[in-house]
Amino acid sequence: MIPVILSGGSGTRLWPLSRALYPKQFLPLVREDRTLLQSTVERIRGYPGVGAPLVVCNEAHRFLVAEQLRTVSEDPGTILLEPVGRNTAPAVALAALSQAESDAMLLVMPADHVIRDVEDFHKALSVGLEPARAGMLVTFGVVPASAHTGYGYIRVDKSGQWSVVSGQLLKSDGPRTIDNGPPSNHGPYPVAGFVEKPDAATAGRYLASGDYFWNSGMFLFRASAYLEALERHAPDILEACREALAGQERDRDFLRVDEEAFARCRADSIDYAVMEKTDRAVVVPLDAGWSDVGSWSALREAGGQDAAGNVFHGDVLAEGVRNTFVHAGRRLVAAVGVEDLIIVETGDALLVMDKSRTEDVKRIVDRLREADREEALDHRCVARPWGTYECIDSAERFRVKRITVKPGARLSLQLHHHRAEHWVVVRGTARITRDGEVFMLSENESTFIPIGVKHRLENPGRIPLELIEVQSGAYLGEDDIVRFEDAYGRS
C-alpha cells in the first residue's frame, strides 16, 4: 500500500495563518509538535504492508514538503511536482501511472485533514481492503456528527448486507468479519450518489435519513483500477498525464513531469471525473474524529474547548470571554467581554470576525490579491531550503532582515544589481565568500557586500547561524538576485 498524499491546497479560509506560499498543511494547527502534513504521514505508520509515501505538491512548496518529510520519516519517499494545479483527478492519475508497473494499492489522503482516532481509521482501512483488492474504487464516508453545510455528502444503499463476491459487491444474508476489522454490516456500501454542500434544511434531512455520509476526499484502490476508470470516463485526462509522466525528470528529491503536457490537462476532481460515473464505487464508513480543518470554526471544534467554549493558542489573556477562538502568534492578545468571535494574530496581520462568518475570509484574501499585497502570499518570516529570513523593518531605500541559516546549509552564490548588504553575525559562525575571497565571521563581527559583487553565506557550524542583514539601494525586491551556483537547483 502506497500512501498518496495530496498537498496542493492553498488554505485561503485559514488566512492569516495560512498563506499561498505557506498553506495550512505545513502548519502545526492541532498538535504543537506536528504539522498537518506530518500527522498525515504518521497516521498510516504501523499499518501492515505500508510503503514510503508519495506526495503530490506544487513547485513552490517542494522544499517545505521535503524538509517536513525528513523530520518524521527515515524514508521520505517520492515528491511528485505538479507544474500547475489541475485538481485531484490528474494529481492521482500521475501517482497511479508512476505505480502502474507494480499495480500498488493506493491510499489517497489530503495532507490537511485531522483524524483523532487512528485505530478506528486503521479498522476502516481493513474493511476497505477486500473491495479494493477486487478492483473497486473505495472512498471513506465520514459518519456525520451534525447537519453540516460545509461538506459534500455521499448517499449510499443500505438496503441490505453487502459483500464482495467474484469482484462484485452483492447482497448477502448476514454480516461477515474481516481480519482486524469490524463486521461488514458497517460497510462497504454501494454509492447511490454524490451531492454538493447542502443548505441547513437539506443537511438536516440527510442526517435524519441515515443514508448519507460526509465526503472525506480519501480513497483506496489499485493503481490499475483507477487508471481503467479514467480510461473509460476521462480518457483525455489519462492521455495528458501519460504524456506528462513520459517526460519526467529526477531533480534531487523531486520527480518533475513535463510542464507543457500537464498544462494541457483539464482540471477536474476525482468525484466529478470518476466516482460519480463509475459503477464500481463503494463507501466504507469512517467514524474516527475526522475534520478537514477547512475553516476557523472547524479548527475551533477540533481544538478542545474549555468550559466556556473557548479555544486559546499562544499568549492569550481573557476575561469574561465565551465561545471564542483566539490564536496569538507573535504578540500578547487580550480579550475582554466578547463572545462568538474568531481572533487570529500573526506578525503582519490581525483578523477579528464573527464565528458565523468564517467562509467570508476568502473575500479578504481576494481583495489582498487584487491589491497585490504580500500578506496574501507569505508570512513576514519566509521559509527557504537553507533556513528562514524575516523582514524586521523597511522604508524607502533600506530594509532590515533577520536571517537564520541551518547547520551545514548555504545560500546560492549570487549578486545583486541594485542593492548593497551589510551583515552582522549575532549567533553562530558564518563562512563568507565575497568576490573570490573566503573568510569566517563570529558573533558581533560584520562585513559589507557592495552592489554587483558575487557573494555567498554558509553555516559551517552545528548550531543555527543568525545574522542581521541591512540592505540599501534603489531597488530592494527579492527578484534582484542573479544566481551562479545553487545547492538546491533553483534558477
Average pLDDT (235-244) is: 96
d(CA 325, CA 341): 6
Best CA proximity match to 396, nearest among 314, 302, 475: 475
Q: Write out pLDDT tens, residues 380-429.
A: 888 899 999 999 998 899 999 999 999 999 999 999 999 999 999 999 99
Q: Write out pLDDT tens, residues 55-66.
A: 999 988 999 999
Q: Write out pLDDT tens, residues 23-45.
A: 999 999 888 889 999 999 999 98
- Which cell numbers in the block locate residue 456? 555567498
d(CA 444, CA 442): 6
Of all residues in the chain, the percent with pLDDT exceeding 70 is 94
Q: Indicate if the pLDDT at residue 224 is higher than 90.
A: yes
Average pLDDT (328-352) is: 95
d(CA 405, CA 384): 9
Model's pTM, two decimal places? 0.86
Q: Indicate if the pLDDT at residue 168 is higher than 90.
A: no
Give the pLDDT confidence score for residue 204 in this predicted structure. 93
Q: What is the dihedral of CA 371, 375, 376, 381, to 10 degrees?
A: 150
pLDDT, greater one: 217 or 250? 217
- Which cell numbers in the block locate residue 20? 499561498
pLDDT, greater one: 488 or 278? 278
Q: What mean pLDDT is reported for the chain?
A: 90
Give the pLDDT confidence score for residue 343 in this predicted structure. 97
- Which cell numbers in the block locate residue 412? 546560492
Q: Residue 185 — pLDDT band, cuts 50, 70, 90?
A: very low
Give the pLDDT confidence score for residue 179 in this predicted structure. 38
Give the pLDDT confidence score for residue 176 in this predicted structure. 41
Give me the residues paired with residue 418 across strands: none
Answer yes or no: are the C-beta atoms of 214 and 153 closer than 8 Å: yes
Answer yes or no: are the C-beta atoms of 63 and 101 closer than 8 Å: no
Domain boundaries, the chain: 2-291, 306-363, 381-485
Give the pLDDT confidence score for residue 221 in this predicted structure. 97
Give the pLDDT confidence score for residue 180 in this predicted structure. 38
Measured at the CA of 115, the angle between CA 58 and CA 21, to 5 degrees, comes to 25
Residue 67: count of CB within 10 angstroms of its CB: 15
Check: CATH 2.60.120.10 for 381-485?
A: yes
Average pLDDT (351-367) is: 93
Average pLDDT (218-234) is: 97
Q: How many CA atoms lie within 13 A of 210 on its CB side?
A: 3
Give the pLDDT confidence score for residue 490 in this predicted structure. 76
Give the pLDDT confidence score for residue 10 in this predicted structure. 76
* CA 92 vs CA 2, 7, 81, 389: distances in Å: 12, 11, 12, 34
Q: Write out pLDDT tens, residues 371-389.
A: 999 899 988 888 899 999 9
d(CA 316, CA 485): 45
Average pLDDT (89-113) is: 95
Lowest average pLDDT, out of 113-117, 134-138, 182-186, 480-484, goes to 182-186
Give the pLDDT confidence score for residue 55 in this predicted structure. 96
Give the pLDDT confidence score for residue 11 in this predicted structure. 75
CATH class of 2-291: alpha beta
d(CA 432, CA 438): 6
d(CA 228, CA 115): 30
Best CA proximity match to 429, nearest among 449, 401, 457: 457
Lowest average pLDDT, out of 153-167, 303-317, 447-461, goes to 153-167
Mode of pairing for the β-strands spanning 398-405 and 465-473: antiparallel
Average pLDDT (342-356) is: 94
pLDDT, greater one: 316 or 169? 316
d(CA 1, CA 53): 9
Best CA proximity match to 154, nearest among 213, 208, 220: 213
**Cβ within 8 Å of residue 138, ≥6 positions away:** 128, 131, 132, 188, 219, 220, 221, 282, 283, 284
Give the pLDDT confidence score for residue 299 in this predicted structure. 86
Q: Residue 369 — pLDDT band, cuts 50, 70, 90?
A: very high
CA pseudo-torsion sign 385, 387, 392, 398: negative
Average pLDDT (53-76) is: 89
